[in-house]
Amino acid sequence: MVTVRTEVQVRPGVEGDLGDLTDIYNHYVRHTPITFDTAVFTPEERRPWLLSHPEDGPYRLMVAVEGDPTGNSQRILGYATSSPYRPKPAYATSVEVTVYLAPDAGRRGIGTLLYEALFEALAGEDLHRAYAGIAQPNEASTRLHERFGFQHVGTYREVGRKFGRYWDVAWYEKAL
C-alpha cells in the first residue's frame, strides 16, 4: 500500500470557501452542542458572517486546506475566527475566538495550525484579550485552548438548551 503525504496550509478565508465552511459549521449545528445554533444555514445565510472577517483587522478567518497530490484541488479541513466579543465600543480590544474542524480532521494538529496562524495574524492589532466559550464537556477544545495559554475564568451553568438538555459553557481568556 502506498501512503500519499499531503500538506496542510493555512490561509485567510475567501468567498469561494463559503460552501465548505457552511457544511463544516452545519455538522456541529446538527450533531453537537458545540454551537448553540439549532437550525442549519445556507451559504447565503452565512455570507454576512464570512464578510465580517476581512483579511486584515482584528476580525479574521483562517482556513486550513489540504492539497491533493496533483495540486489541483484543496479540501478545507477547518477554520478559526476572531470575532467581536460584544458590540459595545469599550469591548473593541477584546475578541472571541473559535475553531471548527471537518468531522474527520480531528487529532491531526489542524486546530493548533489554525490558532498559530490566527494569533500570528492578530499580533499587530490593537487587541488586549481573547475569549473562548467552550460547551462542556469538550476535552479536546479545552486542551487546545490551554496549550495556547488560555486560562479558565468561569463557567456558565446550564446556559444553553439543545437536544433536550441543558449545557454548561466554560469561559477561557488569554492576554494578547
Distances (CA, A) of 77 to 24, 25, 92, 144: 9, 12, 30, 16
Distances (CA, A) of 41 to 27, 38, 67, 133, 160: 10, 10, 26, 21, 19
Q: What is the pLDDT of residue 7?
A: 87
Residues of the chain scoring pLDDT < 50 = 1-4
- Alpha-carbon gap, residue 168 to 162, rounded angstroms: 11
Q: Kindly report the pTM of this predicted structure.
A: 0.92
